[in-house]
Amino acid sequence: MVGNYFLKSLLAGGLLLAFSTVTADDFLQRLDQAVVAGSPEALAALQTELGEPSNSSQPDDVYLWAYTSWRLAQRLPERDRKVRKRLLKDVQEQLEALIERQPGDAEALALLGSVLGDRIDGAFSGMRLGGRASEVLERASELAPQNPRVALQRGVGYYFTPKPFGGGLGKAEQALRQALDMFAAETADQPWPNWGRLDTLARLGQVLADQDRSEEARAFYQQALEQAPDFVWVRDELLPALSGPES
C-alpha cells in the first residue's frame, strides 16, 4: 500500500541528493518519468531516496523534496486520503521554512501556493487557505513576472478559485497562455527547476474543456501527448473525458 510506504519514508531521514553530485541528473530524469506515468509507487520510492529535509539541507534540496512530495500527494489514491493530508501539511511546513530563509524565492512561493490550494477540501479550509494561496502566488508573480512555473501555478489557482473570490476560467486561461509563451522563451535544458511544460498544456486543455471548447482542448492534449506519449493523466483521464468527435 502506497500510504504505508510513505509512512516508512517519513521515519527514514537520511541523505538528500546534492546538486553537485553526478546522481542529480539521473534522479530528475526518473522523477520526470514517474510524474508522466502518474505512479505513486515510483514517486514514493523517489521520495524515500531523497530522505527528509533538515535545517542544514541546501535550499535546492528542500525544494526538490517538496516538489517530489507534492507530486506524490497528487497521485495518492482516495484510500490514502489521510496520508495525503499529512504529506501536504509537511510540504507546506518545509516550504514555509525555506521561504523564511529565502524570502525572494519565487519558485518556492509558487509551489507553496499550489500546495495550499491542494490542501483545500471544503468550505472551511477554503476560507482558511484560499486567501493565503492567492497571496503567495501574487507575491511570486511580483518577484518573477516572467517565470513560466509561476504563471502556470497562478493559472491553476484561478481555475480552482470561484469567480466571486477572484478566480474563474477566463483568468485561468489568460495565465496559462502566458505560461505557455514563457515556456517557449525558456531553454529546455535550463538548470532545475525546469518542470511545467506538460502541466501547462494539460491544464489549458482542461480550462478549455470546461468552457465547452472541446476541439481546442483536444489540440492541447495532443500536443502534450506528442511530447510525452505515456502522460497518463492526459491519455487516460482528460482526453477520454472530452465530448464531441475527434478532429
**Cβ-contact 95, 108 below 8 angstroms:** yes
Beta strand residue intervals within the chain, DSSP E: none
* 121 residue type, one letter: D
CA 48, 54, 59, 62 torsion-angle sign? positive
pLDDT digits 0-9 by tens, 174-223: 999 999 999 999 887 888 899 999 999 999 999 999 999 999 999 999 99
Q: How do residues 20-59 score in pLDDT, each as one tens digit? A: 444 688 999 999 999 999 999 999 999 999 998 888 789 9
pTM of the model: 0.89
Rounded to a whole number of angstroms, the CA Rg of the chain reads 17
Nearest 5°: the CA angle 108, 114, 119 is: 120
User: Can you give the pLDDT at residue 10?
Assistant: 37
Q: 41 CB contacts (<8 Å, ≥6 apart)?
A: 2, 5
